[in-house]
Amino acid sequence: MELENDLSLHHEPVGGFFPELTAKEAWEAYKLSDEQVAHFNEFGYLHNIKLLEDEQVSQLKKDLDEIMDPAHPKHDLFYEFHTNESEDPDAVLFHSLGHWRITRAFHDILWNPRFIVAASQLLGTKAVRFWHDQLFCKPAHHGGVVAWHQDYSYWTRTSPMQHLTCWVGLDDANVDNGCLHYIPKSHHWGLLDKPSLAGDMEKLNDYLTDDQKKEFENKVAIEMPKGYGSFHHPLTVHGSYENKSPNSRKAFVLNVFADGTQSNTDEEILTGVPRVMKGKKMEGQFFPLLFDPGQVQN
């Protein structure tokens, strides 16, 4: 299949990466249980959800190794690209946005039926629209931190707040190599100020009450095998510690919002993407509709 250079022009899977299912078939095969949805609503996260098979993980890691090279021929399609966002060679955090535009595998995971069904349920059984993707990679022995933060503190340029994040490991993730951590029920704290993501793990403390600081004693380490994912609320406080282990910790993130979300700024939403003026619906080439639960009845 001949494709344009920029895969954001395609709003459907292009690579045969996942089986073709109708909305109804996907819903019946992969819907979350009532207990899982209730856990998400109570604690602000849901983890250990299998999203990828081993061969799919292998293809994504192959693609990742290629696009991490700044000399890649499609490098200009990234919204952001940081070989080390911390700028400390002893605490490396590779972080980028926009890889869905570059390779077929990373493009098609947006339409992974296991992902889009769960996302719709956790958004309140609403239609799911793509926001943006991210890569977070920590090399062995000297991988850096991702500081404690809330995702929506960086996303107030879109509203209302009806967003969802899905973190998926391409390596086994554990405490030793810098897995994700959550603060349970922190999605009830309201919106906090945003710290810098790389560098100072504890910078968020500047914005917390004494009671909130005490809740960090209850932090939960999200250890998962590769190919498994974790979903969290846009206000759930989360972060990840350094990787001093002999194993890398590579992961991608899919960020979505419910259909109907609008721009909350007249400024640029993502680098290189045409402006969506304040009050206008987020849609079009860069924010495709991924799943509509209304189609399940068809």
pLDDT averaged per 10 residues, the chain (length 298): 79 90 95 98 98 97 96 96 86 94 97 98 98 96 91 97 98 97 97 78 87 95 98 97 95 98 97 97 98 87
Q: What is the pLDDT of residue 253?
A: 98
pLDDT on residue 9: 95
Indicate whether 12 belongs to any domain: no
Q: Tell me if 286 is assigned to some domain.
A: yes
Residue 254 burial class via C-beta count within 10 angstroms: exposed 0-12, middle 13-18, buried 19 and up: buried
Task: Look at residue 14 and tell me if it is in a domain.
Answer: no
Q: Does the residue 4 lie in any domain? A: no
Cα–Cα–Cα angle for 144, 146, 151, rounded to 5 degrees: 160
Q: How many domains does the chain have?
A: 1
The residue range of the domain holding 254 is: 39-297
Residue 21 lies in a domain: no
Is residue 175 domain-resident?
Answer: yes
Give me the pLDDT at residue 33, please: 98
DSSP 135: E
CA dist., res. 197 & res. 151, Å (int) = 10
Query: Among the residues of 5-136, which ranges form H helices?
Result: 23-30, 34-43, 54-67, 104-108, 113-122
pLDDT at residue number 281: 98
CA neighbor of 212 nearest in space, from 231, 194, 188: 188
CA neighbor of 7 nearest in space, from 67, 48, 50: 67
For residue 33, being part of any structural domain is answered with no
How many of the other CB atoms lie within 10 Å of CB of 159? 18
List all residues 6 or more positions away from 57 whose beta carbon is below 8 Å from its beta carbon.
170, 226, 227
The per-residue pLDDT for 1 is: 45
- 2 belongs to a structural domain: no
pTM of this prediction?
Answer: 0.95
CATH number, domain with residue 95: 2.60.120.620
